[in-house]
Every structure is written in structure tokens, then in C-alpha cells.
């Protein structure tokens, strides 16, 4: 494992850790935000490319409005009205997204914390804590995120949280992928398959209405592989409101066990990524922002430059009792696993 200084935040040193397996695959992560900085992944011709969008400098991650590579904690995605009720008590959160809460807190969430790091045999363990009431959530919480690089070219992420009170927990990683190589252009020619027959429709603010609808006969149907750009601009209200794909899919075969939930192929189909998780949902985001920005390696990211597959409990779950529960506490520790594997 290679360790190098990335910079300082408020006088505290931040480090990069690079994992490498025997096949030459490399993953670089940071103690700031437990961020994924680079994923150096092979294709079927033995060519390697960095497929994770991101920045060169720590200062850029201090802003990171698009959450590149970020561990989102304690709660990923949106909570409607920026509040919820748990055990009879109403909790009010940061109002940071059209009157709602997005990704817990833009300035103080897990992606903006410096995590403690402990090197493991084939990975790196990041830990940090939040106090009862911090960011509006209950419980004194101890978070850990373990990154492991397997000999099967899998980046395995294990999330664990222990809380001394019932609380809402829904962690994810917000890595953006471009399997042609970051900065290589749009991901609309990537092929995607999702092992999901339903999704949670949302309003114009991306808050689910509580329904679960079948994908059959709609542009949301990726049960068979489709190019991402094939139907992304279809005359379909969900796509028009979101400016593309930015929705939660209800994953098949949810039992709490890890299973394959998605397959992504590069534009020439030479680089293939499989996604595995034990979670009930995944937010597929097609990078719909039209902002241009300077990125790492002298590249520029623009419209639909990367895709995110954020494994998760469904958006606004705390306000939707019909959705799988994201309440965890002393009697239900939080433990989930997600893996991005290049095959």
C-alpha cells in the first residue's frame, strides 16, 4: 500500500492511500471524506484507465458540490421537507435542496470530515464519529468504512455504524464512473443493465410519492441491457422532470444478502463493471448537470460526463413507512456491503 500526503485541513494532515492487486488494478482513496480519488481498472485488452471522476487537489474536494467519490453519511439522498418523525419526535435537518434535505449536510456531512485511517492487509479502514443531535440526527454514532481491493478486481466497500439510540442511517458512495476513462466524454453510449423490475417515481423535487411502479413498457426498464442515451430524452414525465435519469430502482431479490444488481459496459464494450450489494435500492444518476468544470489530469467534465450507481435504502424512507426501514440502533447495528467489480 502506498501512502502519500494530500494536504492539510485546519492544520490536520490528509493522506492518500493506494491499494493495488496482483493484476495491476489500483484504487486511491483519501482520509478526507473517505473519498474514492482514482480507480485504475483494466479492460479486456489489458488496457488500464482511471474510470472515476474527480480532482487533482484537496482544495477542490473542500467544495465538491457534485460529491465526486464521496462517502455520504449519515443519510444519502433526499428527505422530504428536511424533517422526519422517529419514535414520536420530529427531527429537523439542513434545508439544502429545494426545501428538502440532500445527503445530510453539504458542509458537515461524512464527505467533508477527516476520517481516521488504519491500514489493513488488503484494504484501508476509515472511522469517524458523530454526536447525538449532530446534523439533526439522533444517537452517538461510530462510523466505519472499509475499502478492500480483491484479486477478482473488485472494489469492496463495507459500511458499519454503531449507535446508542435509534437513528436514521443510509450510507452510500457517490463515485461517478466513465468506463471509457474519466474525461473521455459522455456516458450515453455506455450500456446498462439493472436487475430491477420496479422504481420509485418522484416529483419535480426528486422526492418519491410513495408508489412503487413497474418499469415494463417505460424508459426506466433496464432489465435487458440498453444504451443509457437510447431513451434518456424520451417524452416521459419522470425523465423530463429530472433532466435524465436520477431515480431509485427497487432491486430484485432483496433478502439482505449480497447479489449482483447491475452491469455497465463501456462504449466499445471492452471494459465491464458489475455492481453487487445487499441493499434494497440503487440511485442511478446520469450526470445531468450542464456545468463545465476543470478536473484531474487536465480534463474537463461536462454534461453527462459520468454515471453514479448509489446503492441505498430508498429516498425519503424515514417518511415512507411502506419502504424498507432505515432505522438502526442498539438492537440493529448498521452493516452493508457494496462491490464494484471489473470483469
Q: What is the DSSP string of 124-148?
A: EEEEEEE-TTGGG--S-EEEEEEEE
**Phi, psi for residue 309 in degrees, rounded to 5:** -125, 90
What does the pLDDT average to over 315-334? 98
Q: Do 140 and 165 touch, CB atoms closer than 8 A?
A: yes
What pLDDT is attached to residue 255? 97
Return the CATH number at 313.
Answer: 2.70.98.10
pLDDT tens-digit readout, 189-227: 999 999 999 999 999 999 999 999 999 999 999 999 999
CA atoms of 341 and 201, how far apart (whole Å):
29
Of 148, 274, 310, 339, which one is the catalytic site residue?
A: 310
- Say if residue 319 carries a ligand binding annotation: no
**Position 128 confidence tier, pLDDT thresholds 50, 70, 90:** very high
**What integer pLDDT is reported at residue 238 of this predicted model?**
98
Q: Please indicate if the annotation marks 38 as binding a ligand.
A: no
Kindly state the average pLDDT of the residues 303-318: 98
Tens digit of each residue's pLDDT (9 = 90 or more) over 80-112: 999 999 999 999 999 999 999 999 999 999 999
The model's confidence at residue 124, banded by pLDDT at 50, 70 and 90, is very high
78 is in an annotated binding site: yes
191 among known catalytic residues: no
- Range of the structural domain that residue 14 is part of: 2-342
The pLDDT of residue 235 is 98
Q: In whole angstroms, give the CA distance from residue 41 to residue 47.
A: 8
Mean pLDDT of the chain: 98
pLDDT given at position 326: 98
Total domains, the chain: 1
**Binding site annotation covers 211?**
no
Residue 287's pLDDT band, with cuts at 50, 70 and 90, is very high
- pLDDT-derived band of residue 262, with 50, 70 and 90 as boundaries? very high
Q: Is 69 helix (H, G, I), strand (E, B) or coil?
A: coil
174 catalytic? Reply is: yes
Cα gap 326→304, rounded to integer Å: 30
User: pLDDT at position 137, please?
Assistant: 98
pLDDT tens digits, one per residue of 43-77: 999 999 999 999 999 999 999 999 999 999 999 99
Question: Residues of the chain with pLDDT > 90: what percent?
Answer: 99
Burial 107-133 (b: 16+ CB within 10 A, else e): eebbbbbbbebeeeeebbbbebebeee
Q: Which pLDDT score, from 0 to 100, does residue 184 have?
A: 98
pLDDT of residue 181: 98
Q: Does residue 176 have a known ligand-binding role?
A: yes
Q: Is there a binding annotation on residue 77?
A: yes
Residue tagged active-site, from 174, 182, 190, 247: 174
Q: How far apart are CA 309 and CA 177, in angstroms?
A: 9
pLDDT class of 294 with cuts at 50, 70, 90? very high
Amino acid at each position: 500500500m502506498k501512502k502519500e500526503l494530500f494536504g492539510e485541513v485546519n492544520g490536520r494532515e490528509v493522506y492518500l492511500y493506494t491499494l493495488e492487486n496482483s493484476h495491476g488494478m489500483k484504487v486511491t482513496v483519501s482520509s478526507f471524506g473517505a473519498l474514492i480519488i482514482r480507480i485504475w481498472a483494466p479492460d479486456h485488452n489489458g488496457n488500464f484507465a482511471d474510470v472515476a471522476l474527480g480532482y487533482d487537489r484537496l482544495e477542490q474536494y473542500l467544495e465538491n458540490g457534485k460529491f465526486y467519490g464521496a462517502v455520504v453519511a449519515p443519510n444519502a439522498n433526499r428527505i422530504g421537507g428536511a424533517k422526519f418523525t422517529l419514535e414520536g419526535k420530529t427531527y429537523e435537518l439542513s434545508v439544502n435542496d429545494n426545501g428538502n434535505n440532500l445527503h445530510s449536510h453539504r458542509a458537515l456531512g461524512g464527505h467533508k470530515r477527516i476520517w481516521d485511517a488504519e491500514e489493513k492487509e488488503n484494504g484501508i479502514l476509515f472511522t469517524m464519529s458523530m454526536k447525538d443531535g449532530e446534523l439533526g440526527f439522533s444517537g452517538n454514532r461510530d462510523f466505519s468504512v472499509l475499502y478492500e481491493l480483491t484479486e477478482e478486481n473488485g472494489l469492496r466497500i463495507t459500511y458499519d455504524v454503531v449507535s446508542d439510540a435509534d437513528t436514521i442511517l443510509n450510507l452510500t458512495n457517490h463515485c461517478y464512473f466513465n468506463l471509457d476513462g474519466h474525461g473521455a466524454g459522455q456516458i450515453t453510449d455506455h450500456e446498462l443493465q439493472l436487475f430491477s423490475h420496479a422504481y420509485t417515481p418522484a416529483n419535480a423535487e426528486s422526492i418519491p410519492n410513495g408508489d412503487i411502479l413497474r418499469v415494463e413498457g417505460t424508459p426506466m426498464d433496464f432489465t435487458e441491457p440498453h444504451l443509457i442515451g437510447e431513451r434518456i430524452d424520451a417524452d416521459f414525465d419522470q425523465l423530463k422532470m429530472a433532466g435524465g435519469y436520477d431515480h431509485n430502482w427497487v432491486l430484485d431479490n432483496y433478502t439482505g444478502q449480497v447479489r449482483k444488481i447491475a452491469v455497465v459496459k463501456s462504449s466499445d464494450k471492452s471494459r465491464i463493471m458489475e455492481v453487487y450489494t445487499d441493499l434494497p435500492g440503487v440511485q442511478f444518476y446520469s450526470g445531468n448537470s450542464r456545468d463545465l468544470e476543470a478536473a484531474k489530469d487536465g480534463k474537463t467534465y461536462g454534461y453527462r460526463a459520468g454515471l453514479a450507481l448509489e446503492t441505498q435504502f430508498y429516498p425519503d424512507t424515514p417518511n415512507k413507512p411502506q419502504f424498507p426501514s432505515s432505522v438502526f440502533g442498539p438492537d440493529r447495528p448498521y452493516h452493508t456491503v457494496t462491490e464494484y467489480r471489473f470483469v
